[in-house]
Amino acid sequence: MKKEKGYDMHCHTDASDGKLPLSELVEIAKEKGLEGFTVTDHDILDASKETKYVPDKNRIEVIPGIELSGKINNYLIEVVGYFVNPCNKEIEEACRINQDFRKARVGKMIYRINERYKGKLEKEITYDEVLSIAKGGSVGLNHLNQVLVERGLFKGREAFLICLEKGTPEECYVERDAVCFENALNAIISSGGVAGIPHPAFFPLDYKGELTDGSFFGLIKGYAGNKIKVIETEYPYNKVRPECGDLSKNEEFWKAIAREYDLIGVGGSDGHQKPDGPSLGDRRTPKKIVDKIRKLAK
């Protein structure tokens, strides 16, 4: 069955942990019949700053966005901004702070990995090696995982299940800091953007045993319908993390939350263009929904 036209409201370029530059994503969007997509790189605005230079933009609308990390009650929660002004000083500063936290966290995890696997590594992993994978952009665990795969220690996502995530058997995990959650929201709003919560069912899984869908919503409830206007209700959970199993009940919970708090539900692939994950256009949002978000943007 041919997919309906629409917008993918959540995807990544090689400025963070995607595989392709913005120009190539535009070509993929054309091939897949998309009307547009939102660039939501992690804590970095480089690709969003390129959106006004996208060729043939009358055929493919590229919306400048961000996936910005924030801390609330010591929990790291990501917020997506749609239609942001990527040259706004407040959002640029939030990204700069979060990138510093990312670098510090990856450096500590490299040290732990080198200590734990010194018998298996021919030579120590260096920070520059991981940064080269990230192309000097927003560095994260996906880049560290790629180095571990290239070094032959793990395959695919094995490293996440064995050492990169919290509570894993050979844990090398280090908690990452970020700007406070409200500051992340304010930075998006200050830039003229509209704030939303991506992949809400994942956050309880990130904090195994500490959060449920209900208690996670309790953390952000005061912002729902106020500073938070959007929530990702269509998302390829099982393709992003196959080990999580069926999350259909969790999705229904968040769709009910969207209805109750008058949040705009959107679809996003979280596409990184990797062979074992979702790709651009796997989840789509109708243009009329995108236009509702557009009207809220300043």
Q: Where are the domains of the chain?
A: 7-96+177-296, 97-164
**CATH no. for 7-96+177-296:** 3.20.20.140
pLDDT, mean over the chain: 93
| Cα–Cα distance measured from residue 72 to residue 95, given in angstroms and rounded to the nearest whole number | 17
Instruction: Name the more confident of 57 and 12.
Output: 12
Residue 168 has pLDDT above 60, yes or no: yes
Residue 11 has pLDDT above 50, yes or no: yes
Residue 56 has pLDDT above 80, yes or no: no
Q: How far are the Cα atoms of 71, 116, 126, 141, 249 from residue 175, in angstroms, in the given order?
A: 11, 18, 20, 11, 28
- E strands, 48-148, are 61-72, 75-82
Question: How much is the pLDDT for 244?
Answer: 82
59: pLDDT confidence band, cut at 50, 70 and 90?
confident
Mean pLDDT of 80-85: 98
Q: What residues pair up with 194 in beta bridges, in sequence order? A: 82
Q: How far are the Cα atoms of 101, 230, 252, 254, 280 from residue 257, in angstroms, in the given order?
A: 32, 11, 9, 5, 26
1: pLDDT confidence band, cut at 50, 70 and 90?
very low
Residue 242 has pLDDT above 90, yes or no: no
Question: How much is the pLDDT for 228?
Answer: 98
Query: Which of 62, 100, 40, 15 has its CA nearest to residue 269?
Result: 40
Q: What is the pLDDT of residues 34-55, one digit of tens each?
A: 999 999 999 999 999 998 776 6
Query: Which of 71, 55, 52, 72 has its CA nearest to residue 63?
Result: 52
Q: What is the pLDDT of residues 14-30, one digit of tens each?
A: 999 999 999 999 999 99
123: pLDDT confidence band, cut at 50, 70 and 90?
very high
Q: What is the pLDDT of residues 188-238, one digit of tens each?
A: 999 999 999 999 999 998 887 799 999 999 999 999 999 999 999 999 998
Question: How much is the pLDDT for 207?
Answer: 87
Residue 3 has pLDDT above 70, yes or no: no
58: pLDDT confidence band, cut at 50, 70 and 90?
low
